[in-house]
Structure 1
Amino acid sequence: MQAFIVERYGKKNALKQTDMPTPELRDDEVLVEIHAAGVNLIDSKIRGGEFKFILPYRTPFVLGHDLAGVVTRVGPCVRQFKVGDEVYSRPDDLRIGTFAEMVAVKEDSLALKPKNLTMEEAASMPLVALTAWQALVEKAKLKKGQKVFIQAGSGGVGTFAIQLARHMGATVATTTGTSNVAWVKDLGADFVVDYKKEDFEKVLSGYDVVLNSQDGKTLAKSLNVLRTGGKLITISGPADPAFAEEIKAPWFVRQVIGLLSLGTRRIAKRHGVEFSFLFMRANGSQLKQIASLIESGAIRPVVDKVFPFALTNEALAYVESGRAKGKVVIKVR
């Protein structure tokens, strides 16, 4: 099969298109013929080696974290899917590889594709949808009537999180540039801070939840918009000891992670705020629930550009540029 691989770690190293063997299928896995693959910033970060200590991929490996496609084979223990099913997924860590023609995915990490979406639209969803779901539903336990601040409303996670929070009955604030203000309001944002004109720290206050996806400076400012007892959930770091425990990190990695987040955790404690780090995990059951929301019309996909498979490197560069409104997708077949 044709695939785009990381030959060696490096921020400026282009992915190489090459022929790779079809993935070996484990007993609890499904072999999927990929029709479309979503592109995410984590693809760039993994290529650059930022996660080598917690996700030790051995080069060469196939990159890519989102897919929509058709089941071509099932393992002997698989019961939920059959050949011919149209599916979507974010494969498990250490089993990624969606910038390719085929991928093996655990049954528990797979769901039937929303019936009302194209393959390209479906491929745009899994990673950002699961990130928003696990942040707002699982960690924040967001309730109707609460106030949530979702940063970078025009980004992949932001566009989904705004819609999900609004569906849950929350009041939603977000940040974006001048040209996107009306656009994110149409997605469901109640209050939009134009970051080119205003500082969100000065205009927002008393929020129950903040979903942080930006840098450390923004993280520090976010503490000041939360009420006492509020929750700050970050998907961009620093990681916390609970995450180190969750991934069963080696002792020395746990120590490093604890030190990296120590300052933030101390400041959060002084503010009376609960701080936590989210590193999204694969989950087919949640994707099934998300598919129901999409099919009901509560949430719609936001796809900026679709690139042909041959231009996978260009698609990744476009994501890195930060100009995308919503998601970038590769049409594999």
Structure 2
Amino acid sequence: MKVFGFKKALPTSEAAAFIEVEMETPVPTGHDILVDIKAVSVNPVDTKVRRGKEDDGALKVAGYDAAGVVVAVGPEVTLFKVGDEVWYAGDITRPGSNAEFQLVDERIAAKKPTRMSFAEAAAMPLTILTAWEALYERLAISRDASANKGRKLLIINGAGGVGSVAIQLAKRAGVHVTATASRANSRDWCLDLGADAVIPHKDTETMGDSAFDWIFVCHNTDDYFDIAARLVKPGGAVCMITGASKPHNIQALMHKSARLVWEYMFTRSTYQTDDMAVQHEILTNAAALVDAGELKGTRTKTLSPLSVGTLAEAHATLEAGGMIGKLVIEA
């Protein structure tokens, strides 16, 4: 099979930023399914992995979101059979989806929505899992809309992939959603997804204190920690999805008895937690929402085919900033 990866951190303008390698197609064991990749999406984490690659001569195959067809199953597999169409966000500790075939643990995959194409489906899993876990598990927002009447959520970077799903899930839960977006097209995108209000990013710096029950920062923690600590209500919660590169004063949260929580979608697969299969359940529930017309797709740009050239273009697009929704590469 063909795989597409990199051996060192290089700018996307370099011809060797990505390389194509021929490898043996793996054989599934245990809980693994072997998937014939039909489409992948490219996420900010992919570019971070590439830029952080050690120059050790080892090939790194990135890519996490994917949709495809099961072509073989391990002996312990019970959730899928050959021929099933699946979607998943993968496992950061294993070779990624930038390949013709990929092994993935059945407990973090699910059957894709029937009303979505492979390209549409590939755009969603990582952002669905991140948003779902952040809202319902980390921030502990109830999925019962009656429990959230009058409660307010601020989503920093509402037009990004994670923010786009979070807006929809929060509105389903009856929450008043304010999203940040500074360009006209990104503001329109957030409103179309159901946001009650959209404000420019810079407006968070001048808003009154203690304005929101929950704050979900889908952007750089270093840029928004102090703002989030000021804007969260006493007893509220702040969720971050990126690491901090400098110290932050947590006293403001302590004085408000507010919680600071982190969401990392790869935690369950990385640590092989006892509840790994929860991600299968989340993606199954999300597929039902998509098929019922209650969760919109977020694909906004599609490249083809999966190659070193399209991967370089995709990474360059994300690194340039300003992306709305998700970028997908069809195999």
Report if TM-score (shorter chain) is over 0.5: yes
Which amino acid is the alignment partner of residue 157 of structure 1?
Answer: V
Partner of 1:214: 219
Partner of 1:4: 4
CA 1:279–1:10: 2 relative to 1, 3 Å: farther
Give 1:229-268 correspondences, 5 Å limit. Answer: 229-238=235-244, 263-268=248-253
Partner of 1:247: none
Task: Count how many residue pairs are aligned between Structure 1 and Structure 2.
Answer: 304
Report the alpha carbon displacement of residue 178 of structure 1 after superposing the two structures with TM.
3.0
1:282-329 residue CA offsets vs partner (Å, 9 max, x unmatched): 522211111111112111111111111121110121122222210000
Report the alpha carbon displacement of residue 18 of structure 1 after superposing the two structures with TM.
2.3
Partner of 1:285: 281
Gaps of 5+ in 2: 143-147, 270-278
Partners of 1:290 and 1:99 in 2: CA distance: 24
Contact 2:139 2:261 in 1 (8 A): no
Contact 1:153 1:176 in 2 (8 A): yes
Which amino acid is the alignment partner of residue 121 of structure 1?
Answer: E
Q: Of the candidates 258, 263, 266, which is equivalent to residue 273 of structure 1?
A: 258
Q: Of the candidates 296, 312, 316, which is equivalent to residue 292 of structure 2?
A: 296
* TM-score, normalising length: structure 1: 0.86
Matching of residue 307 in structure 1 with residue 313 in structure 2: no
Compare 203-212 and 68-77 and name the one that shifted more: 203-212
After TM superposition, the runs of 4+ consecutive aligned structure 1 residues lying more than 6 A away are none
Partners of 2:264 and 2:95 in 1: CA distance: 15
Partners of 1:261 and 1:280 in 2: CA distance: 22
Partners of 1:17 and 1:194 in 2: CA distance: 41
1:64-108 residue CA offsets vs partner (Å, 9 max, x unmatched): 011000000001111111110000011122124111110001010
Report the alpha carbon displacement of residue 167 of structure 1 after superposing the two structures with TM.
0.8
Q: Of the candidates 37, 41, 46, which is equivalent to residue 43 of structure 1?
A: 46
Contact 1:201 1:222 in 2 (8 A): no
Partners of 2:140 and 2:37 in 1: CA distance: 34
1:229-285 residue CA offsets vs partner (Å, 9 max, x unmatched): 1101000123xxxxxxxxxxxxxxxxxxxxx67634344223432112211135222
* TM-score, normalising length: structure 2: 0.86
CA 1:58–1:288: 2 relative to 1, 3 Å: farther
Contact 1:201 1:224 in 2 (8 A): no
Question: What's the RMSD between the two structures over aligned residues?
Answer: 2.0
Contact 1:201 1:225 in 2 (8 A): no
Report the alpha carbon displacement of residue 39 of structure 1 after superposing the two structures with TM.
0.6
Q: Of the candidates 6, 15, 18, which is equivalent to residue 15 of structure 1?
A: 18
Report the alpha carbon displacement of residue 172 of structure 1 after superposing the two structures with TM.
0.3
Matching of residue 163 in structure 1 with residue 168 in structure 2: yes
Partners of 2:235 and 2:327 in 1: CA distance: 36
Partners of 1:266 and 1:10 in 2: CA distance: 40
Which amino acid is the alignment partner of residue 203 of structure 2?
Answer: D
Partner of 2:205: 201
Partner of 1:172: 177
Contact 2:240 2:263 in 1 (8 A): yes
Partner of 2:274: none
Which amino acid is the alignment partner of residue 183 of structure 1?
Answer: W
SS at match of 1:280: coil
Partners of 1:156 and 1:102 in 2: CA distance: 25
Which amino acid is the alignment partner of residue 37 of structure 2?
Answer: I
Partners of 1:22 and 1:61 in 2: CA distance: 16
Partners of 1:81 and 1:158 in 2: CA distance: 30
Matching of residue 103 in structure 1 with residue 99 in structure 2: no
Partners of 1:27 and 1:325 in 2: CA distance: 38
Identity %: 34
Report the alpha carbon displacement of residue 25 of structure 1 after superposing the two structures with TM.
2.0
Partner of 1:27: 30
Partners of 1:227 and 1:11 in 2: CA distance: 42
SS at match of 2:206: helix
Which amino acid is the alignment partner of residue 203 of structure 1?
Answer: M
Which amino acid is the alignment partner of residue 22 of structure 1?
Answer: T
Partner of 1:317: 316
Contact 2:87 2:122 in 1 (8 A): yes
Contact 1:11 1:47 in 2 (8 A): no
1:36-68 residue CA offsets vs partner (Å, 9 max, x unmatched): 001100001111228x8xxxx992121101100
Partners of 2:286 and 2:61 in 1: CA distance: 27
